[in-house]
Structure 1
């Protein structure tokens, strides 16, 4: 029996027990878990998942090749979640503030973001 690798999102769980469920089609039940699964998708090169979990109104503006190039050419160094704010409403809105680190051919980078999430479907 092959053990599932650790989930890239840093939860401490295996990929199969964590973000792997979402990558396989189960809807993430919260903005926090969706954001963590999106980070894991960058690490794993799952570009279709990244596009599918972007707000539909923004999907047409995405550059699939650039996302793929960045995802696959980077060494992902970690994710730190600073806050998770559920605002409620119908549809539900939330903010997740996080910091992500990666290394590429120009060096090591860090990006801090407060990302807005809207529940769709």
Structure 2
């Protein structure tokens, strides 16, 4: 049984796979973990699908964003994910602060980010980093 790439310690098939197959993550943390796992597995479509439609990365150049995501997934080792803090901003907004432990060509490219999530039509979506850097940028 394959352990989930989100580093929860749970089997992938009962952790993030249901979200990758269409089930909605119930919390911002679950969405965060499922996005990390999607990056690790190269599921670029899921990453894009879970971006808020007003995300600067989608609005600027969606085709280039997809290309950059693909490159990032293919050239990155996803070593660890640590959820540091979660905060509710409002019933429709929340933040998750995390550390992503990553390697590219053997070099440490880990970072910490506070991400903003927004609930839109009953579905949590990633909006943007509030602090830190955006993945793959």
TM-score using structure 2 length? 0.80
Between the aligned partners of 2:88 and 2:18, the Cα distance in structure 1 is: 22
User: Unaligned stretches of 5+ in structure 2?
Assistant: 122-137
Between the aligned partners of 1:6 and 1:56, the Cα distance in structure 2 is: 31
SS at match of 2:26: coil
Aligned residues: 116
Q: Does 1:115 align with 2:115?
A: yes
**How far is the alpha carbon of 1:114 from its aligned partner?**
0.4
Between the aligned partners of 1:8 and 1:73, the Cα distance in structure 2 is: 16
**How far is the alpha carbon of 1:60 from its aligned partner?**
3.1
TM-score using structure 1 length? 0.90
**How far is the alpha carbon of 1:105 from its aligned partner?**
2.0
CA distance 1:106–1:60, change in 2 (3 Å): farther
Alignment of 1:2-17 (within 5 A): 3=1, 5-17=2-14
The 4+ residue runs of structure 1 with deviation greater than 6 A are none
CA RMSD in angstroms, aligned pairs only: 1.2
